[in-house]
Structures are given as structure tokens and as C-alpha cells.
Amino acid sequence: MLAKYLIERALSRPERVWCLGVLLLVAQVAADEPETPAATTSPAVIVTPEAEEIHFSGLLFDGHNDLPWEIRDKANSSFDRLDISQEQLQLHTDIPRLRRGGVKAQFWSVYVPASTAETGDALLQTLQQINIVKAMVARYPETFEFADRAADVERIVKSGKIASMMGVEGGYSIEEDLSNLERLYGEGCRYMTLTHSKSLSWADSATDEPRAGGLTEFGRAVIQEMNRLGMLVDLSHVSPETMKQALAVTKAPVIYSHSSARAICDHPRNVPDDVLPLVAENGGVVMINFFSAFVVPTEQLKTNKLARGTIYDVVDHIEHVVKVAGIDHVGIGSDFDGVPRLPEHLESVATYPRITQELLRRGHSREAIHKLLGGNVLRVLKAAEQVSDELQAVAR
């Protein structure tokens, strides 16, 4: 796909020397590009002026982007090697496309592999990922600014910058020490996903055998400490039993930073219908993931496990959560730069306005669209901060 893009771009340019250079690059890209299934054919999404105005006047607050790991993996953690002020087509994310997509606030994932729980350096590697995000904000201060609280998000967005928070993806990063939660909060992390792909001694993953029966006593203590700090409890990646137990323990609304609806795509990473009403009761928000394996309808995946799906599948997930949990409990958690396959028409961070267009076409109001683009997660963040303020006031 990248090779095709570069060829088309080269052939559209009059400067033959430039074209020759690009075509030589194409040969290398084509050699390195992973094999992907043939693109599906679906109607193009043409963003109308009305949809564009609605989109850019709202707060697009994405719940999960894995750019920091890609910078580590592809550029040795260096923005000199991958300067995101320029389009970087080997990535899903760069500054020009963030601007075209209308991103105004972002949770940057500071993911490290679940294997670090075994090697004993989970916290150290997480701090290294945090340093990559800090380097990005320092390198591009005209574009990004760290936000500590919801009020900072609103202020930074008004200034024209992208409000940046971080999310820890996997509770193994705290190395079974509650004091590390406060340390990560102090570094700027505003949510933690309780597990990643593997179950922990204190919380069960959706994609591994259970070890904790949902949550252990220590797992419940983790949630209570997160409530005290004002750190959002993220239930993406956890088992349904862990979801239910966490929802029973937490005093603050939860998030699913990057999950979709299991009723449409029967993948264990997605949220079951019997849990969605509990999320609504809690006041939380399910932020829809774009990864094809989590959004393509189950029957289609049975016949083609590499099916990409389309933007229309993603909007179906949004509408399902709206139907079961309500418009106040859905958001966007793309997982850009963290997945190998994306739906047609959602290939990069530049494509978010197409979601607004499709929602508008299906009859959703301006107010509803603004809620799901980011208003809902901002409300949840404010609620978590209020719970934290109250708990800390009682402790004093």
C-alpha cells in the first residue's frame, strides 16, 4: 500500500530526478512492505463542509495511540531519525496528518511487552517509553503540550495545540508495588490498562488463562489507589469477569481505551453486551478500536481471517454501543501505530473526519457526534478527578 502511494505520488510530479529517487525508494519499500490482503471495495467517504465544520468544532480526544513504541522500534527512540513534523508514511501518525484529522487531545500509550513481567524490567522500560513522549513534546512544542487535568486539556486545545496525556498499557508496569502507581501518575500517566495479553497474579487478561479469578485483593487495592490518584481504570484487554469485578470496586468511571463491541466481532478483546449496561451505570466510556481483527463482523472473519473491513464496520460498533449503553458511553480509541491492519478508509490519523461524515449521514446530531469524539472521555476524566479530590480530602 505504501509502495502504491509513492508510485502514484511520483508519477504526479514533473521533476524527473525527484521521481527517479522516489521510484528507487519504492523498490526498497515494496521489498520491506508486509504482504496484505487485497483491499475490499466499499463506497468512498466524501467529507462535506457540514461534516467538516462539525468535526473540527468538536474535541477529538483519542484514547490510544502507539506512536511511542513505533519511534522506539523503527527509529531507535529518536525523532531525528523519524521527524514527525514531516509525513512519515511508514507510520500511521505524524503531525501533518494529526492536523488534517483534527486531533485535539491524545492519550499516548507507553506500552511495553508483557514479557517484561518475566524479565523484571517492566517499570524501567515503561519509564523509557515515557521519556520518548517527553522528548516528542519537547521537540515539537508548537504542536504538543502535556495536560495534567481535564482543565488543562481544555486550555491547551483552545491554544491550538494537541493536549497530551499518557496511558500505561499493562499493570505489570507497576511490578506489584502500589507506590509505583503514584510514580507513574507523577510522570504524567492518566490511565492504566489493568492487563495486557497475559494474565497477572492479580488480574485476568481476556487473551490468557485466568490466574486471579478476576481480581485478587491486591487487584482491588490497585483500583482503589488509582481512584485516589485520579488515574483512570482502563478495562481494555481484561477478561469479562475482571471487567465486572473492577466495575463493582471502582468509585470513578472507567474507560476502555481501545476496545470494540463483542456482539459484532466475537473477539475476547471486545466488550460483551452484558457488560455494556454496567459501563453505562458506572458512567464510563468504551472507546472503539479500529484494528480490523476487532471490528470485522464475526461471520466475515470466519471466511477470511485477514479481512480488513471498512469504516462502515467501525461506525456499526459505535452505533451498537450507543444502542446498548447510550450516547454518553462511547468514544474513539483508534490504536493507530499499534496494529498491523486497519479498515478501508481509516488508514491513518488523517481519516477521522470520515467517521464524523458517516455518523452525520446516519442521522446522528451535532451534539451526539461531539460527545463521542471526545466530550464523553473528557467528562469521565473530570469525574475521576472529582473522586480523587474527595478521597484525598477525606484522608486529610
Of 55, 92, 94, 237, which one is the catalytic site residue? 237
CA distance 390 to 286: 25
The residue among 200, 203, 201, 197 whose CA lies nearest residue 223 is: 203
Task: Return the C-alpha cell found at 324.
Answer: 446498548
Q: Which of 335, 347, 358, 385 is catalytic?
A: 335
> What is the secondary structure of 91-153 as a DSSP string?
SS--HHHHHHHTEEEEEEE----TTHHHHT-HHHHHHHHHHHHHHHHHH-TTTEEE-SSHHHH
Which residue's entry shows cell 486550555? 155
pLDDT at 209: 98
Among 62, 92, 234, 258, the one annotated catalytic: 258
Q: Which residue has the cell 491524545?
A: 106
> What is the predicted pLDDT for the residue at 123?
98
pLDDT digits (tens, 9 = 90+) for 159-172: 999 999 999 999 99
- Cα radius of gyration rounded to whole Å, the chain: 20
- Output the pLDDT for position 254: 99
Query: Strand 162-169 relative to strand 189-193: parallel, antiparallel, unpaired?
Result: parallel
Active-site residue, from 55, 92, 196, 317: 196
Has 66 been annotated as catalytic? yes
User: Are 143 and 161 in contact, with CB atoms under 8 Å apart?
Assistant: yes
Out of 55, 64, 320, 370, pick the active-site residue. Answer: 64
User: For residue 24, what is the enclosing H or E element?
Assistant: helix 16-32
The pLDDT of residue 33 is 34
Quick one: pLDDT at residue 4? Answer: 34
Residue of 62, 94, 145, 169 with catalytic role: 169
Residue 258 catalytic?
yes
C-alpha cell at 382: 473530570
Which residue do the cell numbers 497477572 mark? 200
* Catalytic residue list contains 237: yes
Ramachandran sector of residue 170 (left: φ over 0; alpha: ψ -120 to 50; beta: rest):
left
Residue ranges for the chain with pLDDT beneath 70: 1-40
118 is catalytic: no
Domains of the chain: 1-33 (no CATH), 47-395 (3.20.20.140)
Longest dimension (CA), the chain: 71
Annotated catalytic residue within 62, 66, 145, 385: 66
Read off φ and ψ for residue 219, nearest 5 degrees: -60, -40
